[in-house]
Structure 1
Amino acid sequence: MLEGWLGPWGIEEDLSWPLQDTRVLRVRSGHGEHIVKAARSGRPVSHHFTREIDAHLDVLAPLRRAHGDLPVPELEHHDRELGLIVTRFLPGSLVLGSAAEADPSVFEEAGRILSRLQVPGAVSADYGLRLAAAATELVGRARGLVADDRLDALLSLLSILSAPDAVAHRPVPLVFTHGDFQPRNWLVHDGRVSVIDFGRAAQRSWVSDLVRLRNQQFIDRPDLSEAFDAGRARPLTADDRELLTLETLRESVGTVVWAHGIGDADFEEHGRRMVERVLAQA
């Protein structure tokens, strides 16, 4: 398939993440450099391929046509059934683990990019209720992984957020979200920030894209949070803050359950710390 799309090609670098069901390769052909994402042989094609393809076709390509340059990869070829995506290579180094991860200007630019990407969608009458139901189900699955008193406290918080006049019952405007908006998916090149990997893209609340940053890079770094907010230029309302609590609650316990399932003990512990923070901040 790749030969038909690219002609002769060769691998320059394997960029695959551990514990993932996808191979990510930087390759070179006569047309230049590309990023190839491919489902690993013998495994089912992940739904992340469909999400990424849909993100490119339905949102990113129209944004590029409407507004010109967009700091995200450009889709060149895809095959849903095979689980195969080819994008034009974006030069740059990952922000994660580099000096750029502590640079407020990088976070300000990332905030500006996020504001461009979050294209408005429909208004959902039941988004909050579905989010609360998912969180409740995950709390049940986390029994034995998180202390019972912490899980009971999460359930109490969920009951508050799900009260008839609370956030779970309010209409939620949906937007296009990245789903994993954080420095491991940001590149920096010649002072310019770009965003990669749209495999978790979906229609969600806009605050859902804040959860991972607030539980990692923004801890003890208010300057990074302030810079990001300045770039994003969208202050949190009272409703936003309640919805962010609900999003974070679901994400925290979901992280514990998912990480335990794949045997990632460090990430499982990160989820437990998220649980403690969401309870402390509620």
Structure 2
Amino acid sequence: MRQGITDGQSRLLTSWLGEFSVVQDYSWPLQDTNVLHVVTPSGEGFIVKASTTSHHIRREIAAHAGGFDGLHGRVPALRHASAASGILVTEFLPGVLVEGTPAEDDPETYRQAGALLARIHRPAGVSSTYASALTAKTRAWMDRAYGLLPESQLDSFEQALGALRPGVAQLVATHGDYQPRNWLQDNGQIKVIDFGRAEPRPWVHDLVRLSHQRFVHRPELAAAFHAGLGKAVGPAEADLWRLENLNQAIGTVVWANQVGDTAFEQTGRTMVERVLSAL
């Protein structure tokens, strides 16, 4: 068994699957999560995720518990899970990651991804505290960003936060990291994987990274995505949209710096500049 998976997790895995062999290791070194593609002697394939520290395991289990009605074969099916032990097993979903392939530049990919997201976004109630909590989290990121970003940008962030009046938030079951690195392409069909950042949030949350990465200078991809999704950000979501952008931009800078991911940190800096320019 891969180093990092505990004896207890290994015993659970054996009790669930019996004999198996590891086909490929997809582990996330920056997040202390073991991700393995395994197969049983009968040829069944599974993805195993295990960690003793990451909250992503619990989030993914909760996302699957909420159900994905009508999406069998388009999202991984959960077979076994223990939140207490920090381990889950999903059925292996065939396909090739969209990121880095020609499908990443194909509007049809984004149309399908938008349509899938519309089905993933199950209603999850309303919250009168979501916006204030996210504002507090954003200010906490700002406290940790001193020395990483110019004080003028941090001052602009504070002014922007103070001007927002997002009000009550309509929540849905969001994916949390919706972009081509978490999409599969299988004979022209798009599928979605990795619900480790899933959580009830406003629907606009799942559009932030796409808007700062794939949609920059690619209006045809944005148009295809929104056609599949069936909606676009409007005046009703404007302040929540700005708040989500502020939070994810500065959070990217601080988190990437903390884990030593210089390329992702620069992505965050570019996001900060774009967000402030738009505001």
Normalising by structure 1, we get a TM-score of 0.91
Q: Is the 8 A contact 2:124 2:173 kept in 1?
A: yes
Q: Distance in 2 between matches of 1:253 and 1:112?
A: 29
Q: Is the 8 A contact 2:31 2:54 kept in 1?
A: no
Query: Displacement, 1:23?
Result: 1.2
Q: Does 1:50 align with 2:27?
A: no
Distance change in 2, residues 1:22/1:116 (3 Å)? same
Gaps of 5+ in 1: none
Q: Is the 8 A contact 1:6 1:31 kept in 2?
A: no
Query: Displacement, 1:81?
Result: 2.3
Query: Displacement, 1:239?
Result: 2.4
Amino acid at match of 1:202: E
State how 1:15-34 maps to structure 2 within 5 Å. Answer: 15-29=26-40, 30=42, 32-34=44-46
Query: Displacement, 1:98?
Result: 1.0
Q: Distance in 2 between matches of 1:173 and 1:236?
A: 13
Query: Displacement, 1:269?
Result: 1.2
Could you tell me which of 218, 237, 241 is aligned with 2:238? 241
Q: Is the 8 A contact 2:253 2:269 kept in 1?
A: yes
Q: Does 1:147 align with 2:160?
A: no
Query: Displacement, 1:3?
Result: 2.0
Partner in structure 1 of residue 197 of structure 2: 200
Query: Displacement, 1:146?
Result: 0.5
Q: Is the 8 A contact 1:11 1:25 kept in 2?
A: yes
Query: Displacement, 1:16?
Result: 1.8
Partner in structure 2 of residue 81 of structure 1: 84
Partner in structure 2 of residue 6 of structure 1: 17
Query: Displacement, 1:126?
Result: 1.9
Could you tell me which of 198, 210, 215 is aligned with 2:212? 215
Amino acid at match of 1:54: A
Aligned length: 267
Q: Distance in 1 between matches of 2:112 and 2:34?
A: 29
Q: Distance in 2 between matches of 1:202 and 1:245?
A: 19
**Secondary structure at the residue paired with 1:25?**
strand
Q: Is the 8 A contact 2:233 2:241 kept in 1?
A: no
Distance change in 2, residues 1:223/1:244 (3 Å)? same
Q: Distance in 2 between matches of 1:19 and 1:130?
A: 26
**Secondary structure at the residue paired with 1:59?**
coil
Could you tell me which of 71, 91, 94 is aligned with 1:91? 94
Query: What's the CA shift string for 1:176-203, capped at 9, x where partnerless?
Result: 0000011110000010111000111000
Query: Displacement, 1:211?
Result: 0.6
Q: Is the 8 A contact 1:127 1:172 kept in 2?
A: yes
Q: Distance in 2 between matches of 1:100 and 1:68?
A: 21
Normalising by structure 2, we get a TM-score of 0.92
Q: Is the 8 A contact 1:178 1:209 kept in 2?
A: yes
Query: Displacement, 1:130?
Result: 1.4
Partner in structure 2 of residue 271 of structure 1: 268
Q: Does 1:37 align with 2:34?
A: no
Q: Distance in 2 between matches of 1:175 and 1:70?
A: 22
In percent, how many aligned pairs have the same letter? 46
Gaps of 5+ in 2: 1-11
Q: Distance in 2 between matches of 1:277 and 1:38?
A: 36
Q: Does 1:176 align with 2:173?
A: yes
